[in-house]
Amino acid sequence: MTSTRIYGHITGLKPGQLRRIEHLYRRRLPPERVISQELARNLTELSNEIKRQLGVLVSRRGSVVSVMVGDPHGLEIPPLERVRLGAGRLQGLRCLHTHLGSEPLSKDDLTDLAILRLDMMVAVETQPDGLPGMMHCAHLLPNNPAGKQWEVLPPVFPSQLELDFLKLIYSLEREFARAQGVRELGDHRDRAILVSVVKSDRLGAEEALQELTELARASGIVVMDAVVQLRQQIDPKYLLGRGKLRELAINTLQLGADLIVFDQELTPTQARSISEATDLKVIDRTQLILDIFAQRASSRDGKIQVELAQLKYLLPRLRTKESGLSRLTGGIGARGPGETTYEIQRRRVRERIHRLEQQIETLGRERRQKRAQRERKGMPVISIIGYTNAGKTTLLNSLTHSQAFAADQPFATLDPMSRRLRFPEDREVIITDTVGFIRNLPKDLIAAFWATLEELRSADLLLHVVDISHPQYEDQMATVEALLKELGLDETPVLTVFNKQDKVAPRLAQNLCRLCNAVSIAAHDPSTLPPLLDRIQAMLWNQFPSPKRHQPWEEPAEALP
Ligand SMILES: Nc1nc2c(ncn2[C@@H]2O[C@H](COP(=O)(O)OP(=O)(O)OP(=O)(O)O)[C@@H](O)[C@H]2O)c(=O)[nH]1
Ligand SMILES: [Mg+2]
């Protein structure tokens, strides 16, 4: 360490004092000692003279790497060089500083210990004569049954401390690393703690976290923990309060997590501040959904739309220096766009966005032509819509003998397909699947999928598939209805289809159907579908089905070009 800069409140100090403070950089400690009597005395004497707190950061080798001056009540640790800490590793620095009176470690001391993952936080009391008084030490704790986050050692005089510092730190690190060790070899999945910060409505937040957990799983993240934070006032910088951020930092260390996922949309600045304060990857729900979309999109359309949405999300977040950027743009498993220098990146992103928008425009034109052809043939269009995971694709598969990918996870479908469905009397319709809806669908995503959703405009009938076995099915229905309105589709006739009837009491399904003028089905079971088909016919052709009905799904389905 060649720098001899003194950080903090140095105004008003005399040149002689500054020189003596600067000399602290020359101090060396035996690596196995937390502090030496000489250094303690040096610190308290100077501190007593200037009536401000005084501190040093010491490396494991025992050299002083930073010297900082505080005010009478506190001390600020300068920004640390951001070396990405390995799994289960502490910072490799301890903070030794003075307190002017006889006071134990403060809240801020413990916050710094946690957030900066310091090896140890030490405060030495300054006696009126300038000699060192009691010394207070604290270190972080690995995951333990009592849920303790740190250990504060009994106060002693610096000369009395019998502790092998290196032995303690290395055994702590081994235990932290063991938390990571649960990970199987070759498992590179991110391990995350999910966080929701709300002013009230704890229940709503818990339910939202359930959904966030599903989203996280769908994107290949291992969820280690999920926490709701109630806050009267949302901290503009960190969203959470400092104290909670501290707990979170320790939690991630104890659980071996490397990612925090927020249910709330983070501003670029918030994401950056939290990431810098905790040295963890930080993403929000939007980014998570984008990530799932990026993994799932397989058609050309889908890929272009997802990339566009990702880049639009990224652009305002590129204002930072590259160091912070890498953690944000790296996203999950670094699936984001590659990294070059920051300026070039911004320009390229803008160019790429422009090109993608042009491509989408062209593709949209092609789609409109196709739709016009279809309309000329006079084929009615039915679109299956609904909350994600409601069973839309399963229904399409059952109706048309198709094998489109359906699975118990959000956003299984990203590239919806269309099929022909034949009714009696040689009537044919086109039936299309859609991307699932979700609450708080981020604006960028609506825009990205506008092209697909635009298809819905030509629908003659919307089948709104609802999973009635879901505890929040009413909220989900409301979300879908609100989105339809937002998309200007509230004029199109809608038939509500209560799905997964096999998972609820028959009476419930029947009552709900009567109440909502709906049909109930079990999408995977074709024998439950005739009433639905009858209703579709009635709505499309304004007639009741002919008595001599044959089963439409016995006809071979045809894929559309
Ligand atoms: N028990 C039961 N499960 C069903 C029923 N219909 C669908 N499922 C299951 O629900 C899950 C979701 O089905 P999908 O058809 O993928 O749902 P989706 O609405 O297309 O979902 P996304 O495309 O992901 O938005 C799958 O595991 C299906 O097997 C049903 O009637 N009963
Ligand atoms: Mg689907």
The helix (H) or strand (E) run that includes residue 66 is: strand 64-69
Would you state the pLDDT for residue 476? 95
Mean pLDDT for 468-486 is: 93
Confidence of residue 393 (pLDDT cuts 50, 70, 90): very high
Mutate which of 389, 411, 419 to test ligand 1's pocket (most atoms within 8 Å of Cβ)?
389
Mean pLDDT for 303-323 is: 77
Quote the ligand 2 centre to 189 CA distance (angstroms).
Answer: 25
Would you state the pLDDT for residue 85? 60
Between strands 281-284 and 259-262, the pairing is parallel
Ligand nearest to the CA of 409: 1
Residue 65 identity: V
Quote the ligand 1 centre to 195 CA distance (angstroms).
Answer: 27
Lowest-pLDDT range of 184-188, 325-329, 421-425, 483-487: 325-329
Distances (CA, A) of 211 to 124, 284, 320, 470: 48, 13, 31, 11
Q: Which atom of ligand 1 is nearest to the CA of 395?
A: 15
Instruction: Provide the token pair at 230.
Output: 């109630």
- Whether 436 lines ligand 1, by a CB cut-off of 6 Å, is yes
**CB-CB neighbours of 441 under 10 Å:** 19
Q: Which atom of ligand 1 is nearest to the CA of 433?
A: 20
Would you state the pLDDT for residue 329? 41
The helix (H) or strand (E) run that includes residue 287 is: helix 285-296
Instruction: Provide the token pair at 522.
Output: 């079990």
pLDDT at 345 over 50: yes
Ligand nearest to the CA of 437: 1
Report whether 150 contacts 139 (CB < 8 A).
Answer: yes
- Whether 397 lines ligand 1, by a CB cut-off of 6 Å, is no
Would you state the pLDDT for residue 84? 52
Quote the ligand 1 centre to 476 CA distance (angstroms).
Answer: 15
- Whether 9 lines ligand 1, by a CB cut-off of 6 Å, is no
Ligand nearest to the CA of 411: 1
Report the predicted TM-score, pTM, of the whole model to 2 decimal places: 0.75
- Whether 464 lines ligand 1, by a CB cut-off of 6 Å, is no
Judged on CB neighbours under 10 Å (0-12, 13-18, 19+), 5 is exposed
Quote the ligand 1 centre to 429 CA distance (angstroms).
Answer: 23
Would you state the pLDDT for residue 82? 57
